[in-house]
Amino acid sequence: MALRIVMAKLGLDGHDRGVKIVARALRDAGFEVIYTGLRQTPEMVVDAALQEDAQVIGLSIHSGAHMTLIPRVMDVLKEKQAEDLMVFAGGIVPDEDIEKLKKLGVAEVFTPGTPLQEIVDYLRAKFPGETAAV
Amino acid sequence: MRALARAISLVERRDPSTRELFETLGEPRPETEILGLTGAPGTGKSTLADALVAWHRAHGESVAVIACDPNSPFTGGAIFGDRIRMQRHALDPDVFIRSMGARGHLGGLALASREAVRLLSAYGFDRVILETVGVGQSELEVAGVADTTLLVLAPGLGDGVQMIKAGIMEIADVFVVNKADQPGYERTVLEIRSMLNMGPKLPWKPPIVATVASRGEGIDELMEAVARHRAFLVSSGRMEARRLERLKDEAADLVGEWSRKAARRLLEDDDDLAGRLEADKAPYGAAESILKEEGARLVPGQQ
């Protein structure tokens, strides 16, 4: 069964090159990526992940609003009793915020310059049973 | 809602436990209208699906979309982007959108699409829109699943000869010429019309509807054509006849799916079969003996 990952840009942030490159790398790793596009609210992202029965949510954020929007995603997951979904984030996030986000349940935060293979390896290690769909 | 999403994943995984579920559920509820949306990549299927969702919601109907996209034949991975076009319906509890990888299945749909339609119908959706992968000329499966199949075309994609070829042009119940604000639109309509006029007179002559899906133009006319087609299906008795045809298709497909999977395994594991292939240098004998001798073992869950 292929790992299904919903990837989204949170909030008012049009910088989608990074998220597209990561999506492409995850596709090439054999995962099914559902890209929901720009200007997503936390509620939209969680709803999409539930409808798509994704196991993972990947959030991209470069606007500086990560401490507002990402905790809200974690709250909505709790409200919907969907805390089993894994959340990772990517973007420009200072180290001290990474610690705070991890305390809130975010599995990992990948900052600019992270090799793509590192993200792929991370997900493979977290979901060893999920092989390619075809 | 999460239970529904998970059930769809189970059928995608071809989990044998779903058999019992479908034997209980039976066929899709007859009130659920199943609309197929097919056409070449880039003709605007997802944008049209978005416009149709908006139309149904404006008319108070709940609607589910299954959007099929291809998986990579090399890695199995995929990127599904159909939700981007349908963002404005996010958070509407009466809209459900699911991206589905074809996972190597040919025919324009995923292997699990048909079962997903049943689940969505049983869940209570009034309408189900089934969007195929971007198709070429011979991905016709959607016509066997949907009540009404819309073939989406856009101006400038081929000449009159493309129009008279066999295949995709024959399965349209309604032709949609989308992007009708672009040059070449009249010619496309003319070519479809002359193609239709060349053939024998059919009990249902597929109407041609022009749309600009991105602006919601032509959707009223399109849905009126869909309603007329549905009325034709009911009054002509075809709706009823199609039900049995669908079940026959499904049974035949299942025989193929089950036996292909099991046969591949048998051919790996059984030295006699491998020896037979070596000796014959042709597949017929081995295939025949698998079907004759292993019949019951081809069914999942039987030993």
> Is the pLDDT confidence value at B164 over 80?
no
Q: How many CB atoms lie within 10 A of CB B197?
A: 9
Verify that B40 and B77 share a domain, yes or no. yes
CATH of the domain at B144: 3.40.50.300
Residues B94 and B145 reside in one and the same domain: yes
* Per-residue pLDDT at B140: 83
Q: How many domains does chain A have?
A: 1
To the nearest 10°, report the CA torsion of B142, B166, B206, B230.
-30
For residue A58, the chain B residues in CB contact (below 8 A) are none
Which residue range(s) make up the domain with B7?
2-236
- Evaluate whether residue A131 is within a structural domain: no
Residue B229, number of CB atoms within 10 A of its CB: 21
Output the CA torsion B14→B19→B22→B26 (10° steps).
130
Residues B221 and B249 both lie in one domain: no
Q: Residue A82: name the closest of A94, A90, A73 by CA.
A: A73
Same domain, B136 and B256: no
Task: Provide the angle, in degrees to the nearest 10, between the axes of the packed helices B238-269 and B219-235.
Answer: 90
- Our count of domains for chain B comes to 2
In order, the DSSP letters of B26-89 are: -SPPTTSEEEEEEESTTS-HHHHHHHHHHHHHHTT--EEEEEEEPPPTTT--EEE-HHHHTGGG
Exposed e or buried b per residue across B168-194, where buried means at least 16 C-beta atoms within 10 angstroms of its C-beta: bbebbbbbbbbbbeeeebeebbebbee
Residues B166 and B109 in one domain: yes
Q: Specify whether B161 is located in the same domain as B51.
A: yes
Instruction: Name every chain B residue with its beta carbon within 8 A of the beta carbon of A34.
Output: 79-80, 83, 99
- CA distance linking residue B192 with residue B221, whole number of Å: 18
Query: Kind of pairing, strands A108-110 and A86-91?
Result: parallel
Pairing of strands B95-101, B33-39: unpaired
- Domain final residue, candidates B236, B255, B288: B236
CB A107 within 8 Å of CB A86: yes
Same domain, B269 and B208: no
Q: What is the pLDDT of residue B257?
A: 86
Q: Which whole number is the average pLDDT over B71-79? A: 90
Best-predicted range by mean pLDDT (B13-27, B84-98, B258-272)? B84-98
Classify residue A133: in a domain, yes or no: no
User: How many whole angstroms separate alpha carbon A11 and alpha carbon B116?
Assistant: 32
Q: Which domain holds residue A22?
A: 4-126
ipTM rounded to 2 decimals: 0.89
Model confidence at B265: pLDDT above 50? yes
Domain annotation covers residue B303: no
Q: Which of B34-43, B55-64, B194-203 has the lowest mean pLDDT?
A: B194-203
Mark the ranges of chain A whose per-residue pLDDT is less than 70: 1, 131-134
Give the SS3 label for residue A107: coil
Quick one: B200 and B250 in the same domain?
no
Query: For a pLDDT cut of 90, what percent of chain B falls above it?
Result: 48
Domain presence at residue A132: no
The verdict on a CB contact (< 8 Å) between B98 and A52 is: yes
Same domain, B142 and B254: no
Query: pLDDT value at position A134?
Result: 45
- Give A-chain residues touching B1 at CB under 8 angstroms: 50-51
Residues on chain A touching B76 (C-beta within 8 angstroms) = 2, 30, 131-134
The reply to whether residue A134 touches residue B91, judged by beta carbons under 8 angstroms, is no
Contact A29/B77, CB-based, under 8 Å?
yes
Task: Give the pLDDT confidence score for residue A1 in this predicted structure.
Answer: 60
Nearest by CB to A27, which of B77, B90, B103?
A: B77
Q: Do B81 and A32 touch (CB under 8 A)?
A: no
Q: B300 pLDDT band (50/70/90 cuts)?
A: confident
Q: Which two tokens stand for residue A51?
A: 């409808």
Nearest CA in chain A to B1: A51
Question: Helices then strands (H, E): number in chain B?
Answer: 12, 8
A24: CATH: 3.40.50.280
CA distance between the termini of chain A = 9
Q: Are B213 and B288 in the same domain?
A: no
> Is residue A42 in some structural domain?
yes
Same-domain status, B13 and B152 = yes
